[in-house]
Structure 1
Amino acid sequence: MSTAQQLIPVPFYEDTVVLVGKENEPFVAMKPIVENIGLAWQSQHAKLSEKFGSTITIIVMVAEDGKPREMACLPLRKLPAWLYSINPSKVNPELRDKIIRYQEECDDSLWNYWTQGSASRTGTPSVNQQIALSRHRITLLKELSKTRNIAMRVALHEQLDQTSRQMGLCTPELDTIGRAEPDVPDLITEFWDLFDHLCSQPEGYKLNHSVTPGKLAINLNEVARVAHAQRCEIPNLSELRHALRLSQHPRFIEANKTSYSAHSRDEEGKARIVKCWIFAVNQEQ
C-alpha cells in the first residue's frame, strides 16, 4: 500500500474519474468508474482480480462516498482491456449508451489529462477541472476534520496538499484540521486516578461489581454518572472505551460482559445484572 503521489480528479461528462500518479505512471481508481457506469463493484472487482491481478495496485485515497479507503487502481494502459470486456448488449438497456461512451472515449480523455492536462502539469486548470478539484478538496477537508487515526490523517493531508497546490491555494496545517487520537497512556492514567478518587469518597461509592478477587468489573456509564455527581471531569466516553482496551495496570480483559453485581440488588433482593468492563488488578491474574 502507498499514498498517492499525484491525484487528479478528471471530469468526464457528468461523472468524475480519479487518476492517480504512482512512480510516474497513471493509474485509475476502479470503483468510481464501475459505479459510474452502473455495474456491481463486487462482481467487477472479482473480474479485475482474476484478469489483471498482477497489475492492480492498492492506494489510499478518499472514495466517492467521502471515506478514506484502500482503492484498487488499474494502470491506465490496461483500462481499455477491461472496458471492452463488458458487452453492452448484455447489460440493462439504459446503461448501454454510457458504457459505449466510456469504451470509446474514457481512456483517451484520461490520457490527455495525464499528458497534457493543466491540472497535472504547470498552468491554470480548466474550469471543469477546477470544479472537480474544489469538490475533492472540500471532501478531504471534511474527512480530515472527522478522522482521528494518525496515519490516515497524514495520508489525507498529503492528498490535500497536492490538491491545494494544483488549485494555487495554501494548504492548512494538519494540526488546524480536526484532531488526532488522544494520548492513550495519559487518558488511561487519568481515568484510573479518577476511579480511585471516586471509590475513596465518604459517600461510599461501590463501583466495582466483581465477585471475583483480583478482578474489577466496571460499568463506565455508572462511573460517568458518579463523576458528574461529584463534579469531577471524566474523559470522553468514546475515547475512553478505545483507550481502556490498552490498559495494563489494571489489565484489560473483556468489554461489555454481563455480570452479576457483588453489591447491587434489585427490588426482589437478587443480584442485579450489569454490563461491565473487566480488568485484572494484578497482571499475573
Structure 2
Amino acid sequence: MATSVELVPFDQHQIATIRRDDGVYVVMKPIAEALGLNWGSQHKRIRTHPVLAKGIVVTTIPSLGGEQETITLSLESFHGWLVTLHPDRTQNAVTRELVVRYQERAFRVLFDHFHGAGQLPAAMPIQSRIAIQNQVLRLTAKLQHTRNRTERRVIHAMIGDLCRDIGMAPPAMNDLGFDAPHPSDAVAPFWAGIAELKRRGVVFNHSRTSGLLAINRTALAEEFKQAGITLKLDTQLGRALRASDPRYIAAKTVNSRLTGGGIHCWVFTDTD
C-alpha cells in the first residue's frame, strides 16, 4: 500500500500525518507530547477504547535512526480522541488553552488540507460521509451526557464543523442537554445567607485571624436552619465555592475561637 508522510502546519506546530490509499492517519505520539500529555497513558486509553481502537494503524515512518514503527489514528478517530480530552483537568493554563485550540480547530485544518477547504458535500466519497455522520452521532450523544460548560462548547463547535461538511444544519446546543449552573450562580445564595447571619449578629466565624472567615459546615447548617435560610451545604457547593470565588483559601482544621479546639472549616478571606 502506497504511503506518504505529510507535515500539516497548525498554529506554531506541525501535525505529522500519513496519507495511505485507504485514508489519512495522524501520528499520535508527537501530538500527545505537544499537548503535555503522557503518551503511555494516552496510548493505553486509545487501545482500550471500544471505538478509538478500531482506528489504530501501526505503520513505519522515517527517522534519524532509520524506519521506525509508530501508532497512528484515522482522521475520524483522531477527532474522536480529541473529544475525550478534558481541558479542565489540567492545572497548567497554557496546556489547557492548547488542548482547547486543538479540539476547536485541528480536525478542520487537517480535513481542509487533505480534502480542500470549502469542498462541496456532494463531492465527498460515501464512506467519508458515513464516517462523519457516525462521528456526529457519537458527539451528540456525548454532548447530551456532559454538563461541563467548556466541554459542551468545544463539542458543539466540532459538531457544527462536521455538519457543514455533509450539508446538515447543526442542532442547537440547548437541544442536546444543558450546562451545569455557573459556579457564581450556585454560590450566590450561600453568600446571601452569610450576609444575613452577619446582619442578625450571629457569631459563626471560627477564625482567630483578622481578615479570615472560617466556617464549619455542620454548625453553619444549623445557623441557617434557625434563621429560616434553606440551603444545602453539600460537597457540590464546596466545589462551586472553590471554583468561583478568589476569596476561597482552603478546607482545613483550624484552632477555633468559638470552641477552643480544632474544627474542620471552609476558610475564606473576610471582606467585611
Q: Which has the higher helix share?
A: 2
Highest RCO, 1 vs 2 (Cα 8 Å, sep ≥ 6): 1
